[in-house]
Amino acid sequence: MEDSQLSGNINQQPTQKPVILGAGQRISDQDYKAAIADLAYADQLLQDPSPENTDNTAPVSTVTLIKEVANSLLKWTKTGFNAVTEEIYHIRIAACKTCPHFVNPPHDKGLLYKIAGADVHHKSTCNLCGCVIKTKARLPHDTCPDADANKPGFNRWGELVPYK
Ligand code: SF4
């Protein structure tokens, strides 16, 4: 993924419906519902057993991804659509860029990821949670799902792993 594709400020992202997860902080209820509807629609398209959609090897299923995105959007509404500071954002992005889980979106879910604002031709997603990193790294309620093997109790973003 190019640096320019990771460095977009969430406040500068266009708010048109197709760029669901890149929407501005002040996304309206109407846009929020449209985003969810678009993801559901994309999911239906991706269920079509066309030759392009036969790769089922991706670790995160489309249904799981839809739920993850919907849950994340819901949590984001509860934070008042806040974003992390630029400093935290860049720390998170730097960690992802060196992570083996930072990958191109799965080929069979290209449309879904495109709708979610991912660069489908470059590394732009996490293959553990299925999230689009440039968006995930902006969200205060979101965090890295993988533990840092060299730093017990912390994840790859250098953040404390929540106690369960
Ligand atoms: S969120 Fe964590 S596990 Fe996923 S790509 Fe980034 S550093 Fe790796």
pLDDT above 90: percentage of residues in the chain: 29
Q: Measured from the CB, is residue 132 less than 6 Å from ligand 1?
A: no
Terminal Cα distance for the chain, rounded = 33
Q: Are 94 and 6 in contact (CB under 8 A)?
A: no
Mutation to probe ligand 1, out of 93, 97, 138, 146 (largest number of atoms < 8 A from CB): 146
Say what the pLDDT of residue 120 is.
86
CA of 37 to the centre of ligand 1 (A): 27
Say what the pLDDT of residue 147 is.
94
Q: Measured from the CB, is residue 102 less than 6 Å from ligand 1?
A: yes
Q: Measured from the CB, is residue 144 less than 6 Å from ligand 1?
A: yes
Q: Measured from the CB, is residue 92 less than 6 Å from ligand 1?
A: no
Say what the pLDDT of residue 99 is.
97
What lies within 8 Å, CB to CB, of 137 at 6+ separation is 84, 89, 92, 93, 96
The pLDDT tens digits for 52-103 are 433 444 456 767 777 777 777 777 777 777 889 999 999 999 999 999 999 9
Nearest CA to ligand 1 atom 2: 144
CA of 126 to the centre of ligand 1 (A): 6
Q: Measured from the CB, is residue 65 less than 6 Å from ligand 1?
A: no
Nearest CA to ligand 1 atom 1: 144
Instruction: Look at residue 34 and tell me whether its pLDDT is greater than 50.
Output: yes
Nearest CA to ligand 1 atom 3: 146
What lies within 8 Å, CB to CB, of 51 at 6+ separation is none
Q: How far apart are CA 79 and CA 62, in angstroms?
A: 26
Say what the pLDDT of residue 59 is.
56
